[in-house]
Structure formats: C-alpha cells, structure tokens
Chains A and B, each alone.
Chain A
Amino acid sequence: MKEEFKDPQDRPGVEIGQREFCTCAACGTKFSVISDSGFCPVCVLHEALEGDQETSGKRDPELAERSLIEPPSVVRRFENYELMLDKDGRPIELGRGAMGVTYKAFDVDLRCPVTLKVISEKYVGDESARLRFLREARAAASFRHPNVASVFHLGRSGQDYFYAMEFVEGETLESLMKRLGLLEPKLALEIVTQVTAGLAAVHKQNLVHRDIKPSNIMVSLEGNVATAKIIDLGLAKAVAESQSETAVSIPGSFAGTPEFASPEQFAGVCVDIRSDLYSLGATLWDMLVGQPPFQGTSAELMHQHLHAALPTTQLDDVPQPVVALLEVLLEKDPAQRFQTPADLLKFMPTITEAIDLGRTITHQSLRKMSPVDLSAVTRRPAARPGPEKISVARLPVTGTDLFGREEDISFLDDAWANQHVNIVTVVAWAGVGKSTLVNHWLGRMATEDYRSAELVFGWSFYRQGTTGKSSSADEFVDAALTWFGDPDPRIGTEWEKGERLAKLVAHRRTLLVLDGLEPLQNPPGPQEGRVRDSSLQALLRELAAFNRGLCVLQRGCQSLILHITNAPLFCAVS
C-alpha cells in the first residue's frame, strides 16, 4: 500500500514523501517498510516476552520446522476485517462453539482489533443454523453496556456469515483464577457486581444469557481495579421469541455448561434471567472455593443441581455474608432467588459492608431485599402486557406451594398416567386459580420427569385483541409445528396445519397445555363455546381421536364445544 503524506504542521524542511506501509497480519500493527526486511516490530518484541521465550525454547523442533515449511497463510478477509495470524501463520482462534468459530481480527478501516465470530463451515447452507446465528448476533447487538462485549456489525462474505464485536483486552475469569488461585472475596464480589450490572442490561432486553461461567467473563486487572465483561452471547435467547426464531431451537436439547447450569436448564424448560443468577452463583462459588459447587458427570451434575443440598462445608473460609448470598443465588427454586439482576445489585453493597463490619446477614434480610416477583410466579398471560409473539416450550416453573389442591393435582396425575385420556379441560370461574394449579403441576413434572425423552412441555401465549385474518393461534400452531419438526409450517390451510400438528404430537406422549382460550372462542350465540380457530379445531379433534398424550385446556365456565363426538373428555372443576 502506498500512501502519500504531507506534514500537517508544515514544518520547515519537511518534504512530501512517499513510503510503503504494511499491516501486520498477526497483530494488526501498521508499520513502515523502508528496508527490505518488512519486519513487524511489535511481533518481534512479542517474541522476546518471557512466556514466548520459554515456549519457543520448549517447542518441539519438528513442530517448529513444520511451521516453517507451511507457506504463509492467506489472510482471510471478511469485508473490512482481516483475521489476525499467529506466528505460525494460522488464524488466532479465541473460541469455538457449536455454531461458529471466534477469531481475533483487525478492522483495517478503523485500525483496531475486533473479535469476529464466523458461522461454522458445516452450517453453511443450513437455513435453521443461519437463523440461529442471526438471532445470536441480533440479541447481542440489541444493547450496549460497559460490562457486556458489544456486537456492532453483522455481515456476509461469500457463503460465510459473520459478526464483529468488541475485542476485550484482559483474560477470562477462568484464566485469572488459574493464575491467581482462589480470589479474595472482595475481588470476587466486585466481579460479580459488574457481571450483574451486565446481566441487568441483558435482562432489560428481555434476554437470557444461558451460559454464564468463568470462561465467558473477561476480566482485566489494573492494580486493584478490576473490569469485568460478559462475552459470548452465543446461547443468549429472547424470553419471548418470534416464531421464526423459535424454529431454530432444538427441543429438549440442553444448552449451557453442566457445572454452572441452573436446575431449570437441566429440566429442559425455558429459562429466565433467574437462571443466569444461579449460574453467577456457581461462578462466585468457583472463585472462592476453586471449583463449582457440584462435580461429576453430566448426569450426576444434573441430579445434584436439581436435588442435592449445597456442599456448604466447602465454604468454611468464606465470610458469612457471602455464604448467605451464595445460598440465595443457588436456590433450586428460581422464585427463592433474587428475581432480577437489579435486585441483586441493590444488595451487593450490603454484603461488602457486612464483611467490612464483621456483621452477619440472615436469609430473612435477603428475602426482604428480593421480594418474590409474583407476576413472574403466577404467569397469568392475560394480566401481563402480552408478549407480541408466541413462544412454545415456555414453562413457568413456579415452585410455589399450593394448598388444598391435592385432589386436583392427583386428578391431573391420574390423567397423565392414563394412556386412554387424551384431553382434560380445567374449567372454573376466573380467579379461582386454574393457571396456578396447572403451573404448579407442570413445575413438579418438570423437576420429576425431566428424564422422559418424550416429554415436551408447551406453553403458549397469544396476543390480546388480535385482529385481521391471522390469529395468534395460527402463530402458535406454526411455532409448534416447527418445534415438533414439521418440514415447512407455512404450507397448508389452517385446518391442515392443525391436523399435521396433532399427528406430530401423537408420535410421543405429549403434554400440551392450552391456557386462556376464551378469546379464541366464538361469542355468545348459536356457536357459543366453539373454538373459532380452524387450526385449533383440527388440532383438538385429532388430539382427541389419536393422541397418546394429554391436552389440558383451561378456560372459563362457558361450555366448550369440540368438533368431536367420540373422544373421552375429562373435566376437573375446582
């Protein structure tokens, strides 16, 4: 590259000249090439670092020679981003996930290092993977926060999709812990505070990270000042996703890292931000103890996260206020944790103050600081500002105690156990607690029957006041079709879609809960109580006729007329 320069200050004696620049493919430094060497001074200096000297000294001579044999790699370029190369001419890989590979790259326009995530070659041409990748990029780009690495560009280069995000200096918390050993409680709490601030931003966007762990937190330490940033929103997921985005989730698949995953992640159900707070608790535990609370194989970890008591004897050397904090963060029941990162943030100064003053903190005081979010527990769709899009696989695991409903719970249990029961309707006046009852039952199923591969929980929200041709039930059916593996949910009439969904569901013992059907029923008159949505009509008829699973309908007291005549129908009236 030839660049012409003119001295901006027009100093006497300075002439306009021409020189050749070169941008180092390894570190991105721009340097001048006057001599024939073309050496990047920064790379040469880096080779003189102590670590590099040791490494090169111990390096396998064969490997060293091989690296010399290999021709210099061609620098891959994605628009204005060039992948940086290591000293052997290979791209510097920062991470490798299920979806893509993360590289250190260099923005040749802005002249700064960036992190570039490129979709894996094996997914090129895979539409669902592409959607998932786009979702990930959009989720990460939807907000900016100093404690979250920002995504600022999404692009396509040939067949490759990529997105560029901020390059975060420092090291991962995992690496810091390896280097320093156990962290001082104050440093650990500072990191937790900053990650919580980042999570608050994630939460504000209605997202869940789903993979908070030491290797996804970057920390830079300058003296006593620590800066922490959440990286890799690769698993981040919108709490209420659009239909097309939902389509790219894999039902029943586990997303996360077993050592740091929440019980609800293991249960295979949809999670909210409280799951991230649990993972943050496991991360804090790791910082203070040197290992996360539970160890073992994936199956053992799952069992322990779901059922085992915390090994608090490991916390003997940890200040009591931090122990109390850990116990709340690592509550198995999300409702017993802090409900939002903002709640936790409010509480952090109290913890550090208690440590400074040698005070203890009780669980009661923690509870006062973290009032249980009742709306999150009861999940009454009609009472909420309804999500705009339908979401399947969304199970509110409430964990709330339910009193005096044993008979109803037992009834639902029996219905589930009975292979001949296909549909149950739960009918009661508004406010009696139909949703609460079923939510509680589902919550118990989630924790007790998670091992059943055939068990897929479904939960639908619909938009209130839907107008026009397309009803929210259509969206639900389309999303559910995708969820259950329909090749193309867009094909067919509404009725056909309902039939197809019923057939897909019939392949496995499926529990399908339809709550709040009232707006989808015909108004009073000759058609009173009849479901007016043709896809739902078809679905219910087919379910009643063929389904091996159970469909629970919850509705008000008006009678519901199904287009079925010979199906067993159970009603539980509370």
Chain B
Amino acid sequence: MKPKYSSPEIRAGGFRTTRWSVVLLSARGEASGSQAALAELCRIYWYPLYAFVRYRGQSPQDAQDLTQGFFLHLIEHGTLARVDPLRGKFRSFMIACLQNYLSHEAESAQRLKRGGKVEFVSLDLQHAENRYRLEPVESLTPEKIFSARWAMALLGAAMNRLGSEYVAQGKTAIFEALKAFLDPINRKTLPPYEQAAAQLDVSVGAVKTLIHRLRKQYAAFVREEISRTVSDDADVDAEIHELCEALIAAEGWIMP
C-alpha cells in the first residue's frame, strides 16, 4: 500500500514527536518548522473539518473554500498565538475555532474567495466529497460526528505511518502481506498463515511473530499520533476513550 503522506521529513521523525502545543508555541515565533508541523497536523485532520462544514449545509465547493479559508485564518489572524497551548486538546481547539470561524463567516454579507492562489494544504477534494456523500449521520450531534471522523483520520494517519516505516526499512513486502492480520478480531477473509509464509518465504512461526510485531507497532503509532494532539501524556487515554465513545455513537456511518 502506497502511503499517502509519506515524506522524507516524516520518516525522519522530525515532526512526529511534535506536540500541537509545541507547534503553537513555536507559531508565536513564526518558526518555519512549526508551520510545517502544523500543516501536517491539519492535513491529517482536514477531512473531519471539511465534513463538519458540509454538515452545516454548505455546498461541496463552499465547504472546500471555507475549510481552506479556516486554515489561512488560523495562520494569518494570529489565532494560534492567542491559544494557551497547555490547556486542552488539538481536536477541541480545532472544532471550537472552526465553529467561531463559520459563525463569523455566516455574518459576513459577502463571502470572498478564500485562499487566493495559495494552496495551504494539498488534498483530494473529490475523494473527500465522495466520502461525505456516503455518511448520512443525522441523529448525532455534529461534534460527535466530527470526533468520530477525527478518530478515523487519526487511525488512517497511523496506518500510513506504519506503512511508511516498513517501506523505509525495506519491508514493504512484509507490510503488504501482513497488514490484513492487523485486526485480531474482525478479520473477514483472513488469508491462511501458510499463504503469507509462502509469500514471504519464511516459516509459519516467523509469520506469527511478524504479525505480533506489526500489531504492536501499529498500536504504538496510534498512541503516538494521539499524543501529538494533547497537551499532556496523561491525557492520551482519556482522549482514546472519548474517540471510542464518538465512534460507538456513530454506529458505523463514518467511512473508514
């Protein structure tokens, strides 16, 4: 599987360990690294924000414009500098900012094209719209839906990173052959271990060990991704629980 967002910077791990609070602190000093780190965080979580705007009744085109505009607003209007990074989670911060932004924009009689020719984040907009059209979650609060989508985005980012790591270590074949085994429970059409062993030319016992490592690594990346969005390591578990709650409430209407 080709990782969508792999880049030399990401593989080097320079941004991976950057907490959003650190990003914001740096943003005050306009350090270039922090901008890039924020850009990466925003890229991962762009879709939940887009979907939230769509949920508010905006057309696909307007939603794309508003989401882009929101990111620019974050950078250009000094929003980041006013945030106390030691409090709260990146998720809560983003949804609150977006809500404020949308309210403000709704009041504006004439909406201008946001972003101009500046493309802050490169995204597959058509793909996002396709996903959104398949997610009619109406009985939930928009915030819950947002959190569920956020969780899926986060898991996607961790999966991409897992793939990137394996690719970087020259283990693409292993990842491709074994990624189906990542979920221990809901494997639907799980290939036999023998098949994977033959594919990788190793013993069945070795395949099991490799799967075990892959699972552990994936869980570790998920945790690390979450830790980047909270101010304190102690908050990671609480964030996991909140995301789970949102996913359960979403009852499967959130696209993987």
Q: Which residues of A are in contact with B by a Cβ distance under 8 Å?
A: 5-9, 11-15, 17, 19, 21-22, 24-27, 29-50, 52-53, 56-57, 61, 64-65, 67-69, 72, 85, 87-89, 111
Contacts and interface: CB of A to CB of B under 8 A. Distances in A.
B219 A44 contact: yes
Contacts of B189: 36
Contacts of A52: 219
Main secondary structure of the interface of B (DSSP, over half): helix
A87 B185 contact: yes
Given A22-B188, A44-B222, A48-B223, A37 B180 contact: yes
A24 B219 contact: no
A36 B183 CA distance: 12
A64 B136 contact: no
A72 B255 contact: no
Interface in B20-71: 57, 59-60
A5 B252 CA distance: 12
B121 to A, nearest CB: 23
Contact of A43 (B57, B186, B211, B256): B186
Interface residues of B, number: 49
Nearest to A36: B180
Contact of A45 (B151, B185, B209, B252): B151
27 contacts: A6-B136, A8-B138, A12-B59, A13-B60, A17-B134, A24-B185, A25-B186, A26-B186, A37-B256, A38-B186, A38-B187, A39-B155, A40-B185, A44-B155, A45-B151, A46-B244, A48-B240, A49-B240, A50-B223, A56-B216, A61-B212, A64-B208, A68-B184, A87-B184, A87-B185, A89-B184, A111-B251
Given A25-B186, A65-B208, A31 B256 contact: yes
Interface string B173-215: 0000001111111111110010000000000010011011001
A68 B218 CA distance: 17
Given A31-B252, A38-B188, A44-B183, A64 B212 contact: yes
Interface of B: 57, 59-60, 133-134, 136, 138, 151-152, 155, 179-190, 193, 205, 208-209, 211-212, 215-216, 218-220, 222-223, 226, 236-237, 240, 243-244, 247-248, 251-256
Given A22-B186, A36-B180, A88-B184, A41 B133 contact: no
Contacts of A61: 209, 212
Contact of A14 (B136, B216, B252, B254): B136
Given A14-B136, A52-B219, A69-B208, A29 B247 contact: yes
Contact of B155 (A19, A38, A41, A50): A41
Given A17-B134, A31-B256, 6 more contacts: A29-B252, A39-B183, A43-B186, A47-B219, A48-B240, A64-B208
A32 B254 contact: yes
Contact of A39 (B57, B136, B186, B255): B186
A30 B251 CA distance: 5
